[in-house]
Amino acid sequence: MKVQEGLFLVAIFYLAYTQLVKAQPRNDCQTKCGNVSVEYPFGTSPGCFYPEDNSFNLTCNEKEKLLFGHKPVINISLSGQLRVLLVRSKVCYDSQGKKTGYRARRTSLASFTLSEHNKFTVVGCNSYAFLRTSGAENYSTGCMSMCDSVPSKKGSCSGEGCCQTPVPRGSSFFRVKPHSFDNHTAVHQFNPCTYAFLAEDDKFNFSSSDDLKNLRNVMRFPVLVDWSIGSQTCEQVGNTSICGGNSTCFDSTTRTGYICRCNEGFDGNPYLAAGCQDVNECTTSSTIHRHNCSDPHTCRNKVGGFYCKCKSGYRLDTTTMSCKRKEFGWTTILLVTTIGFLVILLGVGFIQQKMKHQEDTKLRQQFFEQNGGGMLTQRLSGAGPSNVDVKIFTEEGMKKATNGYDESRILGQGGQGTVYKGILPDNSIVAIKKARLGDSSQVEQFINEVLVLSQINHRNVVKLLGCCLETEVPLLVYEFITNGTLFDHLHGSMFDSSLTWEHRLRIAIEVAGTLAYLHSSASIPIIHRDVKTANILLDENLIAKVADFGASRLIPMDKEDLATMVQGTLGYLDPEYFTTGLLNEKSDVFSFGVVLMELLSGEKALCFKRPQCSKHLVSYFAFATKENRLDEIIDSQVMKEDNLREIQEVARIAAECTRVMGEERPKMKEVAAKLEALRVKTTKHKWSDQYPEENEHLIGGHLLSSQGETSSSIGYDSIKNVAILDIEAGR
């Protein structure tokens, strides 16, 4: 028994919860009070009206009058309006001007608001009244009527015995106060009172004699009230609105909140779950939903509408909505011919498009094989362990990434190709470079370079992510570096030259270490062949990234140099390589020496504005050294008293790197070690200067050289003397 009672309670709670969630009325709700229909969201008892707003709770009294508060309801419009009766306000006087009756009105509409289709009216001679409202905005208005005798015009409420003024919408509370200028003593015989009230537009017509005497004994006037559901828009409530099936939510145009309307071809209460029912336009007597078929027998109903069906051999004339016999004449023949011609054109276009697609596919496959795609695929799928991580991109993917190779996406152009900014489908940003191949004999070497470079995982080398071989010119995809090139920072083409000496020394060490790695530690030695400041990128932390390996060459393990066509950039080009055509790692050393000179001087590697004998930066250094003015060409931004030794050492290394004979130049491994040692030594030196007592205690106040001897600043009197020895030795 207890189990049954428990199940019964659960069922009751579930039913109540369902009604609350769906915000739907009970099935036994009162639907009529007197001659006024009560439709949801309005109701007269709990569970029958919209539960979120008590303003929808109406009262049906014993006299079967429907009340909104204490205001009688005339009718309810589901389009968002409620028509109620409001009592007039008045003030009356006797013949001596003594007040005999006064009634001012205060009216609250709860959460509903006044419609703009109402007027504030004052009836009386020498009378005036005020209307004060509150709600979304406070508002006050009023009007005044004057007369000494009964006006001759009836139905006119323009200031003589009667005045009217519009009422703004949006007010939920208002007060009406009537007044008289002379207490009606002058007109008491025919007008003892002043009347003031709200009334719906065109619902009050002024009758001078009757209305001035006693306002035709009318106590209440109809007033329009606006209502809506909640205070949110349809977009805000989304699927939680109470609009039922076959209905649409609309934002209220008169206040906040929303209202519901049945869809076209449906009628009923849109606030009920199944309130909007299909209207049979073919049988209904409603003028709103009536069909427009000229012959009622041709009307056919369908859900949400209708159509006019003509019998076989007839067609529907949409102008008159009548059936007419089909005519086959020149018009029909022309129409059929035109349609047939269009079908043929579409067919030919489809075939041409398909053939073009096949040709494009064939051409892409041809380019893929021509650029070594088959060879690369074979190498990638080969047996054995591999850390190769190179992706083969499609031509379509590259077009989308560069927005069709738009000019606005170009990051730079040079001898090795054009670089575009690309955005991949995962929103990652990459640099896409159109590489250049001289002839088909270079394909295998190009594939080898792609494979080798894809394996390089060095923090100072721009990472090769993949390639696209389906285009006539191969595309290489690199990681995107955001802060421009070293050339831009040194020479101010994009950025202010704000690199400190510490930045420049660190960048030099990073580039030197990278080249040393490529020459000595890579699985196959790599000669960059185009080392220059424009090919050294800087990230947001000014970390150097060596880029542009388009001119690079792989040196077989059993060879020290390689005969190639001379390629590089003037100003950085190794003179020995230029004259012999033999490429080796010392060519990169020479180019790096020029980069060091740029870092020291801030001057370009090749500048035609300098004197004839100094257009090349190496010559510029040499001549400045001979004339004892090398300190003049050192960038003033990096020159400080405490870094003269470092600058001298770097100048010495630059001179050694730019010696004419390659065999006299150091290897990049040695250059990197010297620069790194210089930084370590400098750090120790600065530490010693900062803590002299600790330094003296540890090493007796002397810095020991690598041979165990003490070193001093002898021979480092000025940057000029050291530079003379180094440059002359190099040349």
- Counted residue by residue, the chain has a size of 731
The angle formed by the CA atoms of residues 215, 217 and 218, to the nearest 5 degrees, is 80
**392 three-state secondary structure:** strand
Catalytic residue among 226, 530, 574, 635: 530
Name every residue whose Cβ is closer than 8 Å to that of residue 726 and which is 6 or more positions away in sequence.
Answer: 651, 652, 654, 655, 656
Helices (H), 423-566: 443-455, 486-491, 501-516
Quickly count: other Cβ atoms within 10 Å of residue 425's Cβ: 8
**DSSP per residue, 47-114:** TSS-TT-GGGB-EE-TT--EEETTEEEEEEETTTEEEEEEE-EEEEE-TTS-EEEEE-EEEE-TT-EE
d(CA 246, CA 268): 10
> Are residues 184 and 125 in contact, defined by beta-carbon separation less than 8 angstroms?
yes
User: Angle of helix 668-690 relative to helix 644-657, nearest 10 degrees?
Assistant: 170
Q: How far apart are the first and last CA of the chain?
A: 113
Look up residue 427 and give its two tokens. Answer: 């929103």
Is residue 202 helix, strand or coil?
coil
Contact 722, 645 (CB under 8 A): no
Query: Hunting for tokens 């969630």 — which residue is that?
Result: 21
- The answer to whether the CB of 406 falls within 8 A of the CB of 422 is no
Cis peptide bond prior to 41, omega within 30° of 0: yes
Q: Please classify residue 482 by burial: count the beta carbons closer than 10 Å to its beta carbon, then call 0-12 exposed, 13-18 middle and 19+ buried.
A: exposed
Query: For the residues of 684-726, what is the DSSP string, one character each?
Result: HHHHHHH-HHHHHHHHTT-EE-TTS-EE-STT-S-HHHHHHHH
Structure tokens at 69: 């508060």
Query: Which DSSP category does 403 fall into?
Result: T
Report the distance separating Cα 715 and Cα 61, nearest Å: 116
Q: Reduce the DSSP state of residue 551 to 3 states and report it.
A: coil
CA-CA distance, 158 to 164, in Å (whole number)? 7
Q: Helix, strand, coil: what percent of the chain each, to 5?
A: 35, 25, 40
Q: What is the DSSP string of 255-313?
A: SSSEEEEEPTTEEE-TTSTT-EEE--TTT---SSS----SSGGGEEEETTEEEE-PPTT
Check: CB of residue 165 under 8 Å from CB of residue 149. Answer: no
CB 460 within 8 A of CB 513: yes
- Rounded Cα gap, residues 198 and 109, in angstroms: 13
Answer yes or no: are the C-beta atoms of 183 and 91 closer than 8 Å: no
Q: Is 530 a catalytic residue?
A: yes
Residues recognised as catalytic: 530
